[in-house]
Amino acid sequence: MMEEEGEPLTGGDGLTGGDGLTGAGVILIPKLPHVEFSLECRDLIGSGRDRKPNALVQVAVIDPREQYLVSHACTEIVEGSRDPLFLTGVTFPPEYPASPETLVKLTVYDVRDKARDNSSFLGSATFSVSDLLRSKDDQLTLNLRSSDGVLAVGTVLVSRVNMGEMEEGDVDHITADVQQAQKCTLVCESSQATPNDKDNSPLTGAVFKNPVCKVYKFQTVDSKWMLVREQMEECTLSFSIPRQLLHLYIQEDMRRIQELRDLGELSPHWDNLRKEVIGRYGQVIAAYQETLAELNKITGPSFKPSCSKAQRYLEFIPINLHTQRMRVTCPRQTDAFYDVITVGAPAAHFQGFKGGGLQRLLSRHEAEKKSFSTAYQCIYYSPEHTAKAQEVLHSVGHLQPLISGLADQLLQAAQQHSMAGLREALKTLAGKTEQFVHALKDELVKSALLALHAAQPSYVTKNQNQTLPGHQGHSHQDHPSPSQRGQQGQSPPQNPGHSPGQPSATDSPVVVCNNVDGGSQTAPIREDGQTPLKRQDSIPCHKEYDEEEWDRVWADVAKSLNCVIAMVDKLQEQEPISNNQEQPIPKQVLADVITSHNPEGDWREQLCPLVVRLKECVAEVVVRARRAMTFVLLQEAACSIPQGLFLKQRRDVVFSQALAALACGFVMRLYAGMEDKGFLRQLHLVGLVAQFESLLSTYSEEIGMLEDMEVGISDLHRVAFKITQAKTDDPCDLQPVVIGRREHYTVEVPLPRLAFQMLPHEIKEGKALQVYPVLFNVGINEQQTIADRFGDISLQERINQRNFEILDSYYKSLSDKVPSECLPCFQTRTDLKDLLGTLGQNVVTKKRKNVEILWLAGTICRRLNGIRFTSCKSAKDRTSMSVTLEQCALLRDEHQLNKDYFIRALDCMRSRLTQGEVVCQWDSDPEAACSVAENKPASRHFYPIALLLVSSHLLVVWLILSLVFLLAKYQ
């Protein structure tokens, strides 16, 4: 599908493009175009006797019924040849309203001056579609006639192209004309692939659609033909994933508001903070709902063009996300596939980068939060403690219904007198209850309960009444809300460690209770090894609050479970008829509970009181833990207003774009590897590496983009994938589904029943499949030249070093669990360990524009069965330059591409659109549009000009700095 606003499908210099999001489809059911043909002219007569023409063929269609001429296609310009062989072919896709009676007019021009668009008419010829379909050997030879229709100015050869298969005779036959002319490629461009494409599968239309295909023939070193097909498609996940995430964001924030309201009555100070936080959450929810409503109105192409990156309602949508697949068919060799996903850098383009990106903003905000917590009379909680609070909330909310359901299953098994069912249900119940208890085994829960107690009106009133005469204490009612304090510019109190109702640092130390036997000890060391709250940041216990109450409630869950276990053991002992003797109760502490039941009665009657008690204990613990953790999050949000929620929105935007790209890549890779047992084994044993290649510069606003991208890619570690069986084979039921919360999302990928049955047992059982995202960045444009000389590239160096360590760790884990036979084979058999060693050396080497890092990272990713991504600002020029260069390098290294064809193949793949399509297809980039019209890559003339401009600017900057230095020196 072509764009209507002006951006390439695969990038500026890439495959045919437009502002639409199209990419290489993975699993398709392609349709055969009605007609595809290539063009070649012979014996052309130019306008001058001694001058060879610069030939170009304009293709137009004449509908015999309507009798009007419509421009359809245009070839590239072949300079200085009387026998030009055109690389660009012509296609009529099935959707095109052509019939056998449709007439095709070929008009040949001699382009004298490309810059001025000065061309002269040479000749024309006309044929019908039926003529070509009925022609012998699928070829037509037509005479080119002058404007008066009298003189013959040469001939044009129309050859129908069938890219579906390569005949053995075609493999060995290379004409002398081709070898002597331009040694060029036969190119056919179509909007659909051929019917015998090996990508056929029932999995079509669900995730990938609107395929665009370009096909080439290149010569190998042994004078054979190789067939290369580039196929691109739109990805429906560009909008589907962000819509689902917005739903989840809204639901999560609405739950948080309800949890805040469930805290009950608070002192005026804390109640004001709560109202402020709820108001901020309400604003975020309203904005997200408005965005979601606008997204639901959008129909049409499944992509966001770069010209829309500053639109508010599209900020959650990735830019130019599309997939590409290069399929290579060589004589007597197995077909090879090379996949890549191209996408604009995941970043908050609408919000801008004046203050930097997420990485810088989050670091700055975390440093400021400590002073905010003092100013707003809150307790400072580190990001680790906040994450722990969210984890506890999720765990108790998730485990409580599971425990309740398993308890009911236990009673049902008891009613049926099924000892096997009883034991199975008890085993699962015990496991989930142990998880539940373990989730609460943290000092944070207890300290939060103390803090919540101190924030209640009864405690505040009592504390104020006990204030000594003459003591100028602060009343909680007098504290302004965070927004009010920010407006008034009040300075924080002098005692930075003092919180509402918190004694001074001279009071007794924090009391840590033992969660096993209810005892206490004065020790700051946590049993689970986590860092405890700092003494000045914690609220000590107060005499009027029974701190052991939480320990008793928490321990009652384990005691209740032990009662259930003991009763099941007793019922099992009573099961044999011959054994009527009662065995002593295993634990004396349970005797008073168990002996009160009739041992000879119904099993359900004996278990029911114990199970009910267990459920009641769990419910009571959930209520207390939820309120305590919600109070922690209230303080964290209060300390963060308003910057914290703004940063959360920015992080949501960036993560949405990153997850849409990752889900697209995962589905693409999964579809491609459905029959690869080694890949599936690697998938469930270790997971997949997802390598993001970034070409952003460390200069100006692209620094902010890179900082956003770094956080967004890092947040993808919170994502897991799960394969499910689709309800039906309908495309709507094959759409991936996102579930979870901000701290952990799961993307469920449904497969049809037959495809699902092919998977390993572990995957079918619902095992979470991990993805390990890594990001490598090397700036390559002229702005990076300025950054290398005068700027700071430490951000790029840190990103590359950190992600190399992740990649190296993944390789070591893979080597321990998966045999090397599971990995793909390549012609260049460089050892993976050596490649990683070379990459590590390049990462630490101080070298400007070290693109070797990107080459090595991409190669390692392909060797590891990974998912490849390439990004720049908008997934246009730099992205496509990288992708096409990588493709040609693969053809050279893996498929013996003739060295004389390398540059020609690169030019073919980087050719964009024909002159007739430039105006409506491209962004406002005159240099790019000019290069398109000439069918040449923009870099051929744009980059030298750009470098010249940069050099002149650098000279001016140097002169200005020198002048300033001299003036300062003499003053």
Residues with catalytic function: 872
The separation between CA 593 and the C-alpha centre of its own chain, rounded to angstroms, equals 55
Angle at 812 between CA 808 and CA 813, to 5 degrees: 115
Per-position DSSP letters for 686-719, written without gaps between them: T-EEEEEEE---SSTHHHHHHHHHHHHHHHGGGE
- Give the Cα separation of 516 and 749 in Å (integer): 42
| Both structure tokens of 675 | 């029959």
Residue type at 749 in one-letter notation? V
> Strand, coil or helix: what is 29?
coil
- The enclosing H or E element of 254 equals helix 237-261
Q: What is the DSSP annotation of 760-818?
A: -HHHHTTPPEEEEEEEEE---SHHHHHHHHHS--HHHHHHHHHHHHHHHHHHHHHHHHS
What contacts 347, CB < 8 A, 6 or more positions away?
Answer: 353, 357, 654, 657, 704, 705, 708, 709, 712
In the block, tokens 């409506």 appear at 920
Asked if residue 534 lies in contact with residue 565, where contact means CB atoms within 8 angstroms, the answer is no
The dihedral built from the CA positions of residue 301, 304, 306 and 309, taken in this order, carries a sign that is positive
Tokens representing 509 are: 């130390």
| Beta strands at 719-725 and 208-219: parallel, antiparallel or unpaired | unpaired
Task: Please spell the DSSP secondary structure of 297-359, one letter per residue.
Answer: H--S-S-B-GGGTT-GGGTTSPBS-EEEEEEEE-TTS--EEEEEEE----S-TTT-STT--HH
CB 57 within 8 A of CB 39: yes
Cα 755 from chain centroid (whole Å): 25
Distance, CA of 896 to CA of 900 (rounded, Å): 11
Opening angle at CA 906, ends 904 and 911, nearest 5: 95
Tell me, rounded to whole angstroms, the distance of Cα 164 from its chain centroid: 34
Estimate to the nearest angstrom the gap between the alpha carbon of 48 and the chain centroid: 57
Place of tokens 């830019």: 319
* Distance, CA of 475 to CA of 493 (rounded, Å): 13
In angstroms, the CA 212 to CA 25 distance is 9
Angle 847-851-853 from CA coordinates, rounded to 5° = 85
Which H or E element spans position 122? Answer: strand 118-128
The DSSP-derived string for 411-445 is HHHHHTT-HHHHHHHHHHHHHHHHHHHHHT-SHHH
Contact 208, 736 (CB under 8 A): no
CB atoms within 10 A of CB 703: 25
End-to-end CA distance of the chain: 65
d(C-alpha 813, C-alpha 682), whole Å: 11
CA dist., res. 17 & res. 918, Å (int): 10
| Nearest CA among 29, 23, 17 for reference residue 194 | 29
Counts of helices then strands in the chain (DSSP H, E): 28, 21
Query: Computed from CA positions of residues 426, 428, 432, 435, in that sequence, does the dihedral angle turn out positive or negative?
Result: positive
